[in-house]
Structure 1
């Protein structure tokens, strides 16, 4: 009996964790460490620096939180014992809660610091003393500059989701924060992807780090993969209709639909609500209070679909999420990895679906190369498929009613009708009424299959006048963007911001000129107002630049 009682902690006990942590893990229902935990915890306890490549949902929070709690001694230092930097408010809250749960018996004092929260509360907690600070780079640096956070006693620094932090323009903040910590600290870096810039940070700030690379656990033979991936090739004009049909067939419990721009988020949300779904928008134009209310409704079940931009959805963790849908294929394969990492967690199967325009098929191939997994191309549901699906839902509703035991009170209706009609006809009429009350048959045109991408004709292979021309063409304008080389701006940053925020295809962006203080970029005149409006609300390399037409543009 005693052996059975303590069997769950045997796996973690083998990693050398202190008894207080083992008891906390048992009380939380943890039985066996995940692969990333087995690989990371022993070297971290031994004091090694570590670079870990791990997808969301692999248990990486415990992989770094348990070792930093292992060496925690209350009252030994004045400042924090450990600092964890994360990209978003939501992730700061999640990591902070996890550290608190694991270190409950140790009396750990953990403080999340992020923007959007009253700073007075954070100042009071810091003045009383904390053991672990979990924060976003901007707010942590703010406290350092105020003199309210001192990192001279920090023994461990964790950079969690480092690729996300760099994508959000936090590189300079991270460098400034690390400069305030002791050089002999232990440094831990976790990232879902390992582009060259992450390796560059590791070379600068980590000392002979142990490297641990883990993906999701592979399913055993015969089992379904944790994330079922698929894609549909759809012309842009029919994407909204295609999304509605896919949702009708998939019937997700809760889903996130990713869009590129705020305007697209609002348009898709309106379309889905018009189709009868309970959809909510989430994007950077909303206040933190609005975002919190939206997330509360999703977690509470009153909302079933969240339509969001990548930036707004960073760090979100929704337990009941079953589907991730890419309304557009992300331009960066790494972004796809982050998106689908939100489903298929804790042994539950998830679904990742992408709607791709014909020209985006090459992006799907790039994702397949990165993930090492094929993304099957599926055929869109037809009107016949949708009608069959709705009839199946009607049948399921009837079956549920038949399984109930409260039907007798309706017998008088059946008895009166069967005096004049056949029982089967009465049943068919009842089914018809139920079916129509649930929405009835789909009555909409078929979505045509898109034509394969056509090759450019030979006469069009020269420079296109709508992209590179500087000959005073009326259809081209040049924008002034008030950020340049001194802020670390690269052409790809500008292209990504324009395409991501305004929806203008990257192929329509012309020549880019970057100087020390500003940049000039050619775009179609017809899109100028839309691009200016979108970029004026966007953050590029951590700054919100001035954007306008070039004053001397002809």
Structure 2
């Protein structure tokens, strides 16, 4: 294999040999210069060479193969001239959109094929004729076996995110699909890593390929990801409160929070919603319509916090994303790299924050060794830190108001009070009112979070049981735990409990602590001073339309 590790600087897309139709499209999209992988990959692909590209997420791989693909393939023949295989439906949609955008002046017909979408609708478009098919392996193989996807006309084959497809168990499907593609096709393989399995696939399916390897040195010009990486050691029961504190401190424009499982995603999104955050979930158990609605809300500014699994986040392109938060430490360094690659693009600084249980500290160190990047372990902001931070925000807001002018209308209020109070006291009172108006009612914001650097005695023999908001084995000082006789079986969610408690008992959300929802019952921590009032109020009302048993939990 030929190893192409560096590209000539200051080359334009025209220098790479792209035709006028593609150059017009790139100019209208605002593309100014090719990224390193595009500079290295496009010329050999245009020359008809097979290629293996090794580069991380966010380096411009999609354009590196779609642009030369569009220039080389035949058009208007009815049967697909190009097949692009990708691991997830999100990536299938993203790549298909890229093909459509780049080929807008070329009358290119492109179809994304993936599970969760109407099979009959896909079949209708296929019968009408397409030039490029972007497919997940499972759905592509389904069409092939039904005889609805003919591959005899394929001139170019692309395996995108090949390492992800193999990790998801698509190796046999890929072999079966490639057996249906003509041997004369041109083949391109892109992967973030080069393991033995990827190397074996390259040897089996690529002919004398050019190897394009974009290393860390290739991005040292400042155009690559620029990410501030931080980790906080937080015990599992306190992660939700810690996440709220981090979000308040960072004030992100848009944030992507990663969890390991679908259930974790649903539970965290609901818990954050109950605390007043505009959060939505994204995972493989959702229909495509549901995912599309979530992405529309995110891009429209109606949502600023997306909770997702690794698989569901593959292929997501969120231009205003400023922060990535790992609610759990990913098991594989590769997953960590994929996650933080979502931010810090195009010279903008991004932020990657990891909430690590002390038992996950070794995973952090392994990630550092594998990525050769330092992850700073910092101390979680204290309640005093957060109070000081909020006061600083109030000061900054007041300064903007003062500089903005237009204060004459309000002088009459000061003049009316000046006969009774000192002007200094009036100013302090106004600041206090402005500050309290901006305080969040999010539950647990001022909860004391024990240090995770010292071991905490356990009364459960070391066994760890998770739930919504974390396990309920340790209670926040000054709180008691309430037993509520309704749980997941009747559709109880954290926001239902928060709404019922604040609405019926008339207490603030800040007096509600950890919430754990089981199949048949729920446990809620509340401030001890209001516990009796909550029990009495909920005992006289309904939750989800039903009367439920409510009592102070005896800890059994």
TM-score with structure 2 setting the length? 0.76
5+ long unaligned stretches in structure 1: 1-8, 455-465, 468-474, 476-498, 505-528, 531-554
Quote the Cα distance in structure 2 between the aligned partners of 1:445 and 1:131.
Answer: 58
Aligned to 2:452: 450
Deviations along 1:401-430, one digit per CA (max 9) or x if unpaired, are 223343322222121111221222111111
Please state whether the residue corresponding to 1:11 is helix, strand or coil. coil
Aligned to 2:228: 228
User: How much has 1:20 moved relative to structure 2?
Assistant: 1.8
Please state whether the residue corresponding to 1:104 is helix, strand or coil. coil
Please state whether the residue corresponding to 2:188 is helix, strand or coil. strand
User: How much has 1:34 moved relative to structure 2?
Assistant: 0.6
Aligned to 1:428: 428
Quote the Cα distance in structure 1 between the aligned partners of 2:352 and 2:453.
Answer: 24
Deviations along 1:515-546, one digit per CA (max 9) or x if unpaired, are xxxxxxxxxxxxxx99xxxxxxxxxxxxxxxx
Aligned to 2:546: none
CA contact under 8 A between 2:234 and 2:358: conserved in structure 1?
yes
Please state whether the residue corresponding to 1:437 is helix, strand or coil. helix
Aligned to 2:129: 129
Matched ranges for 1:356-435 at <5 A: 356-435=356-435
Greater relative contact order (Cα < 8 A, sep 6+): 2
CA contact under 8 A between 1:258 and 1:328: conserved in structure 2?
yes
Matched ranges for 1:171-186 at <5 A: 171-186=171-186
Quote the Cα distance in structure 1 between the aligned partners of 2:447 and 2:267.
Answer: 21
Please state whether the residue corresponding to 1:229 is helix, strand or coil. strand
Please state whether the residue corresponding to 1:44 is helix, strand or coil. helix
Aligned to 1:330: 330
Quote the Cα distance in structure 1 between the aligned partners of 2:85 and 2:428.
Answer: 62
Is 1:240 aligned to residue 240 of structure 2? yes
Please state whether the residue corresponding to 1:280 is helix, strand or coil. strand
Quote the Cα distance in structure 1 between the aligned partners of 2:11 and 2:356.
Answer: 47
- What RMSD in Å do the two structures reach over aligned CA positions? 2.8
Please state whether the residue corresponding to 1:130 is helix, strand or coil. coil
Aligned to 2:319: 319
Aligned to 1:210: 210
User: How much has 1:68 moved relative to structure 2?
Assistant: 0.9
Aligned to 2:267: 267
Quote the Cα distance in structure 2 between the aligned partners of 1:254 and 1:156.
Answer: 37
Aligned to 1:116: 116
* Count of paired positions: 453
Quote the Cα distance in structure 2 between the aligned partners of 1:380 and 1:23.
Answer: 50
Aligned to 2:15: 14
CA contact under 8 A between 1:15 and 1:38: conserved in structure 2?
yes
5+ long unaligned stretches in structure 2: 1-9, 472-517, 520-556
CA, structure 1 residues 148+38, in 2 after alignment: closer, same or farther (shift >3 Å)? Answer: same
Please state whether the residue corresponding to 2:256 is helix, strand or coil. strand
User: How much has 1:274 moved relative to structure 2?
Assistant: 3.9
Quote the Cα distance in structure 1 between the aligned partners of 2:263 and 2:83.
Answer: 37
Aligned to 1:82: 82
Quote the Cα distance in structure 2 between the aligned partners of 1:443 and 1:225.
Answer: 32
CA contact under 8 A between 1:258 and 1:307: conserved in structure 2?
yes
Quote the Cα distance in structure 2 between the aligned partners of 1:403 and 1:200.
Answer: 65
Matched ranges for 1:285-304 at <5 A: 285-304=285-304
Deviations along 1:344-366, one digit per CA (max 9) or x if unpaired, are 12322211111112221221122
Quote the Cα distance in structure 2 between the aligned partners of 1:224 and 1:418.
Answer: 58
CA, structure 1 residues 443+422, in 2 after alignment: closer, same or farther (shift >3 Å)? Answer: farther
Aligned to 1:71: 72
Deviations along 1:240-293, one digit per CA (max 9) or x if unpaired, are 222111111111111111112233223322432343322222233333322222
Quote the Cα distance in structure 2 between the aligned partners of 1:224 and 1:182.
Answer: 37
Aligned to 2:39: 38
CA contact under 8 A between 2:52 and 2:190: conserved in structure 1?
yes
CA contact under 8 A between 1:87 and 1:315: conserved in structure 2?
no
User: How much has 1:90 moved relative to structure 2?
Assistant: 1.7
Matched ranges for 1:473-552 at <5 A: none
CA contact under 8 A between 1:219 and 1:226: conserved in structure 2?
no
Deviations along 1:140-184, one digit per CA (max 9) or x if unpaired, are 112212212111111111111111212222222111111110112
Is 1:23 aligned to residue 24 of structure 2? yes
